[in-house]
Amino acid sequence: MKVFTTDKLNHALYLLNEQLEMGACSDIELVVCGGSALIATRLVSRTTQDVDVVALMKNGTLVTAEPLPEFLVVAARNVAEMLLLPDDWLNNGPASQLTMGVPSGFVERLQSVRVGSKLTVHYISREDQVYFKTFASADRGGYHIADLQALQPTDDEMYRAALWCMEQDVSEGFRFVLREMLTQTGWSHVSERI
């Protein structure tokens, strides 16, 4: 499995912009979360296997990435062939999060990078990574917990993230799992507050 470092990620996005230019495609703005956003913004030093698109941006407004525009899918497939990447290196796996809701102030905190004439990438902020990674840590565990710990959130940040997570899943079962995750990862005092 090919993995992205910061340099390889930037190269793939540069080639994606080039493909969009060659295809005379519309400009596109991607809102990216997950590992690629962590490494692009240098919040966490690690590698990642893909670029997770949580939403698209049009005229300063978040819009759904379900489905990704066909011209973008074709351009990404061409880049995959050039760099021997998996077909889903650019994917909309977390796109349902937009429907569920993003944290207040999410758009204002985005970190934007103009890759080229056709492509802009908006990476989610550290604060929003804490929110998303807290939810993913409770929901799926694994490397999400390592990412969350690497972000070194304060107790107040974790408390706000936990409250947001409980808005995403209001079930008592999720609250129990969230509290267990917080207790097992060193945030028992936050767990006690929710």
Kindly state the tokens that stand for 108: 């204002």
DSSP code at position 62: E
In this prediction, residue 9 carries a pLDDT of: 96
Amino acid 24: pLDDT: 85
Burial (Cβ within 10 Å: 0-12, 13-18, ≥19) of residue 77: middle
* pTM for the model: 0.95
Low-confidence ranges of the chain (pLDDT < 50): none
pLDDT on residue 2: 61
> What residues are paired with 123 via a beta bridge?
32, 111
79 closest CA partner among 3, 20, 33, 1? 20
The closest of 97, 160, 153, 95 to 126, measured between CA atoms, is: 153
pLDDT at 186: 94
pLDDT value at residue 45 = 87
